[in-house]
Amino acid sequence: MMKKAITVMAAAGAASGAAWAVSRPAVRALGGSVSRALGGSGNHWLVVTVNCPPERLSDGGLPVPVARLASRADVRVQPAPGNRGTELGLRLKEPPPAGLAAMAARARGGDPRQELRAALRDAKSLIETGEVLRPDEPGSAHPTAAGKVLGFALRVSGGEGRL
């Protein structure tokens, strides 16, 4: 039963990987912005809106997670549209990996953009609540095949997704 579940999961993973590989030329034909969103060579700003006045951050009050990245990333602080807080942005000074190197780095949690996303998420939490909020432990991953997949996804998810 367990071998069947692992075989089904492996087949599903191979099928989704093949579908992704086939779709890459079509994505490139649609335009570079779509390609960059799927792990291409875009070095764009990662921005989060925080609930504080811009002066609080621009006068040397950057939170520790952002300040420790200042040597490797450009920092931008500006008022959010409609006077609704502050936009805090980070962008790598060096171009991030692209192509297969980017996919491999993201899968193992080594993409430098993941570190920027995590720093922005932690900074928002520190500014708005005074502490970095974490989910309750232990998580819901059980030592089954599906639980191992879930555990992996939880480990790398901190640097992915929406800010």
Of 59, 63, 39, which Cα lies nearest the Cα of 50? 63
Cβ atoms of 92 and 46 within 8 Å: the answer is: no
Residue 80 lies in a domain: yes
Q: What pLDDT digit, counting tens, does each position of 54-113 carry?
A: 898 887 788 999 999 989 999 999 999 998 999 999 999 987 777 787 777 777 767 788
Any idea what the Cα angle at residue 162 is, between residues 33 and 36, rounded to 5°? Answer: 20
Q: How many domains does the chain have?
A: 1
Confirm whether 8 is domain-assigned. Answer: no
Q: Residue 45's pLDDT is what?
A: 92
Given this model, what pLDDT does residue 147 score?
Answer: 77
- Does the residue 25 lie in any domain? no
**Residue 14 banded pLDDT, cuts 50, 70, 90:** low
On whether residue 6 sits in a domain, the answer given is no
CA neighbor of 148 nearest in space, from 3, 6, 4, 29: 6
The reply to whether 33 falls in a domain is no
Task: Give this prediction's pTM.
Answer: 0.61
Average pLDDT over residues 121-150: 79
| Domain range enclosing 147 | 43-157
* Average of per-residue pLDDT values in the chain: 75
Contacts of 123 (CB under 8 A, 6+ apart): 48, 50, 62, 63, 65, 66, 88
Q: According to the model, what pLDDT value does residue 145 have?
A: 82
Within a domain: 23: no
User: How high is the pLDDT of residue 139?
Assistant: 60
Angle, vertex CA 109, rays to CA 105 and CA 112, nearest 5: 70
pLDDT of residue 79: 95
User: Is the residue at 119 inside a domain?
Assistant: yes
Measured distance CA(134)–CA(59) in Å, rounded: 28
Residue-level pLDDT at 49: 94
Q: Which percentage of the chain shows pLDDT scores above 70?
A: 63
Q: If pLDDT is split at 50, 70 and 90, which confidence band does 2 have? A: low
What local confidence, expressed as pLDDT, does residue 151 receive? 75
Residue 84 lies in a domain: yes
pLDDT band at 29 (very low <50, low <70, confident <90, very high): very low
